[in-house]
Amino acid sequence: MKTINMLMMSGALAMGALVSGCQTTTTMTEVDTGAHGTVTTYQITDAALQANNWQLVDAKTTEGKKVDALFADAAKPLTLTFANVEGNNMVRLMNTCNNISAPYTLVNGDVKIGNMISTMMACPDAEAKFDAASVASVVGKYTLSQGADKTPMLVVTNDHQVAHFKAVAKAEAK
């Protein structure tokens, strides 16, 4: 219970830091995406990552094909939770069959995911594929921006796919 209270308090503090930080930050970059207009990206910080949960809304291969394994159960979307746990920054993958997490660090604004930690339960085939696809979707180059409706978006790009996660209040995550 003490850990849950600490996580809730740190989430609230991080949200406050994110809100006040967004009002005063000068580290924004506008990127012209051609037909899609201009996208404003923001510096990634622990406070920005930890302020919300990040729910997967889209994932496509580099060839533009939807990563079907990540959308096996619409009621349980892949959701990332970044938190400081006992002095260590951790990312937890939620709604997976196995409990999956990894340490992460920020190096010059880049998110570096450490070795994945996972339980080893025997999962049904679709859930096992979801777990594997989930792990593959969180390793790559992270970009923080805003969606068309001003919702913060976290985009993870690697050699095989691009995954888009929208910010969801920690209390709303499924």
Biggest CA-to-CA distance, the chain: 49
What pLDDT score does 73 carry? Answer: 93
Residue 118 lies in a domain: yes
CATH number, residue 134: 2.40.128.270
Range of the domain at 85: 2-168
- Write the DSSP string, 9-49: HHHHHHHHHHHHHHHH---EEEEE-GGG-EEEEE---HHHH
Quick check: pTM over 0.85? no
Kindly tell me the burial class for residue 43, based on how many C-beta atoms sit within 10 Å of its own C-beta (0-12, 13-18, 19 or more).
middle
Residue 38 lies in a domain: yes
What pLDDT score does 148 carry? Answer: 81
- Token pair recorded at residue 70: 């990540």
Residue-level pLDDT, tens digit, the chain, 174 residues = 333 333 333 333 333 333 333 332 334 344 434 444 456 788 999 999 999 999 999 999 999 999 999 999 999 999 999 999 999 999 999 999 999 999 999 998 899 999 999 999 999 999 999 999 999 999 999 999 998 888 999 999 999 999 999 999 987 555
What pLDDT score does 42 carry? Answer: 87
What pLDDT score does 21 carry? Answer: 36
- Write the DSSP string, 58-86: EEEETTS-B-GGGGS-TTS--EEEEEEET
What pLDDT score does 150 carry? Answer: 87
What pLDDT score does 39 carry? Answer: 62
Residue 173 lies in a domain: no
- Token pair recorded at residue 111: 């998110």
What pLDDT score does 117 carry? Answer: 97
What pLDDT score does 56 carry? Answer: 98
Residue 154 lies in a domain: yes
How many structural domains is the chain composed of?
1
Specify the 3-state DSSP secondary structure of 138: coil
Residue 174 lies in a domain: no
Residue 53 lies in a domain: yes
Residue 136 lies in a domain: yes
Residue 66 lies in a domain: yes
What pLDDT score does 174 carry? Answer: 52
